[in-house]
Amino acid sequence: MKKASHLFVTGAALALLPLAAFAQSPTPAEEPASQQGQGATFESLDVDNDGRISKAEAEANANVKAQFSSYDLNADGYIERSEVTNANNSQSETPKQ
């Protein structure tokens, strides 16, 4: 059972990894929003500058698009910076044994 729990935590952390890369990147000018790989910033995906990423904006990044519902914690149809921060913090926590 302990091994299954460890595998679940590891899998969850790996699933969140692509968004962590874009959330922590400091300069949006370095990576175009149309890039399909990792590394897009929150600002580059938030093209209308409303402080959140819509489903349509998430389409610009395949990783964010694929994991949109995982990050939209309040299920309002948008990823907000606080949701990204919470996801990244959850990912970096060490599981207690």
DSSP state of 93: S
What pLDDT score was predicted for residue 31? Answer: 38
Asked whether residue 97 is assigned to any structural domain, the reply reads no
Asked whether residue 68 is assigned to any structural domain, the reply reads yes
Asked whether residue 13 is assigned to any structural domain, the reply reads yes
Look up the CATH number of the domain holding residue 17: 1.10.238
Tell me the C-alpha distance between 17 and 6, whole Å: 17
Domain count, the chain: 1
Query: 60: domain range?
Result: 2-92
In this model, does residue 8 exceed pLDDT 90? no
In this model, does residue 88 exceed pLDDT 60? yes
Six token digits for residue 78: 């948008």
Tell me the C-alpha distance between 60 and 92, whole Å: 26
Asked whether residue 80 is assigned to any structural domain, the reply reads yes
Could you tell me which of 56, 75, 74, 77 has the C-alpha nearest to residue 65? 56
Tell me the C-alpha distance between 54 and 59, whole Å: 9
Asked whether residue 19 is assigned to any structural domain, the reply reads yes
Tell me the C-alpha distance between 42 and 49, whole Å: 10
Model confidence pLDDT, tens digit, residues 31-56: 344 444 457 899 999 999 999 999 99
What pLDDT score was predicted for residue 29? Answer: 36
pTM above 0.85, yes or no: no
